[in-house]
């Protein structure tokens, strides 16, 4: 199965220079109690306002930054917008270059989801298929490469998931929500193997 993970890494393509600090969780900071942090259509105060975050917002997922690293693209349930990083404080406990956990991945047509919790417990569910509880037994970046990608292996008594999580912009094809991680994985259960692809979030 490790060979299969290596094959999936190759399928994902060659790694380019990437931001290894995102996606990550932030808290709004420095905004007055009677004010909001505006989200804009682009990384500039001249862009139209498309949303807002309250002054005490926590667990704000930033999936990318602009070229100057002064603006961050914030993911919302049904969309996203750019916020000034001057008013966003990165949470601790998010080591650069490691596989971010928790990890919530999903795909469409067919609909499926995979949740991996910080201690390695994982739950996979799919449309018209029984839910499977697994555990994360291995994760690592490609040997000799920067940690743009991480191979993952999850197992249970009756199933196994092997795949690659990549730090890159991803779309679920159904909403305007931006994602900062993609996943390509195989699920093997009862002798049958299927390939799934989707996007992942780090929001709790």
**100 and 28 in one domain?**
no
Q: Give pTM, 2 decimals.
A: 0.87
Mark whether 9 and 29 lie in a shared domain.
no
What is the rounded distance in angstroms from the CA atom of residue 45 to the CA atom of residue 49? 9
User: Does residue 100 share a domain with residue 85?
Assistant: no
CATH number, domain with residue 82:
2.30.30.40
Domain co-membership, 112 together with 39: no
Please give the C-alpha separations between residue 80 and each of 74, 76, 89, 94, 196, in angstroms, as whole numbers: 5, 5, 18, 22, 25
Q: What CA–CA distance (Å, rounded) separates 196 from 26? A: 29
Q: How many domains does one find in the chain? A: 2
Same domain, yes or no: 51 and 146: no
Do 152 and 53 share a structural domain?
no
Does one domain contain both 137 and 73?
no
**What does the DSSP assignment read for 96-159?**
TTSPPSSEEEEETTTTEEEEE-TTSEEEEEETTEEEEEEEEEEEEPPTTS-TTEEEEEEE-SSE
Same domain as 113, residue 59: no
**Same domain, yes or no, for 51 and 116?**
no
State the residue range of the domain holding 80.
24-90
**Same domain assignment for residues 115 and 180:** yes
Last residue of one domain, picked from the residues 64, 90, 116: 90
pLDDT digit string (tens) for the chain, length 204 residues: 545 444 444 444 433 346 778 999 999 999 999 999 999 999 999 999 999 999 999 999 999 999 999 999 999 988 999 999 999 999 999 988 899 999 999 999 889 999 999 999 999 999 878 899 999 999 999 999 888 999 999 999 999 999 999 999 999 988 999 999 999 999 999 889 999 999 999 998
């Amino acid at each position: 199965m490790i060979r299969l993970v290596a094959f999936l890494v190759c399928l994902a393509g060659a790694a380019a220079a990437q931001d290894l600090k995102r996606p990550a969780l932030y808290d709004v900071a420095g905004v007055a109690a009677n004010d909001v942090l505006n989200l804009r259509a682009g990384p500039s105060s001249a862009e139209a306002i498309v949303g807002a975050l309250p002054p005490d917002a926590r667990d704000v997922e930033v999936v990318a930054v602009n070229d100057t690293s002064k603006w961050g693209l914030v993911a919302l349930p049904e969309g996203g917008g750019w916020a000034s990083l001057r008013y966003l404080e990165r949470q601790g406990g998010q080591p650069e270059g490691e596989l971010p956990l928790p990890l919530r991945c999903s795909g469409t047509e067919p609909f499926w989801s995979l949740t991996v919790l910080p201690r390695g417990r994982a739950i996979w569910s799919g449309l018209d298929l029984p839910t499977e509880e697994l555990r994360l037994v291995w994760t690592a970046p490609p040997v000799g490469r920067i940690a743009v990608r991480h191979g993952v292996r999850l197992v249970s008594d009756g199933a196994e998931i092997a795949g690659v999580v990549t730090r890159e912009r991803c779309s679920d094809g159904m909403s305007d929500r931006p994602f900062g991680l993609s996943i390509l994985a195989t699920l093997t259960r009862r002798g049958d193997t299927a390939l799934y692809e989707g996007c992942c979030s780090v929001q709790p």
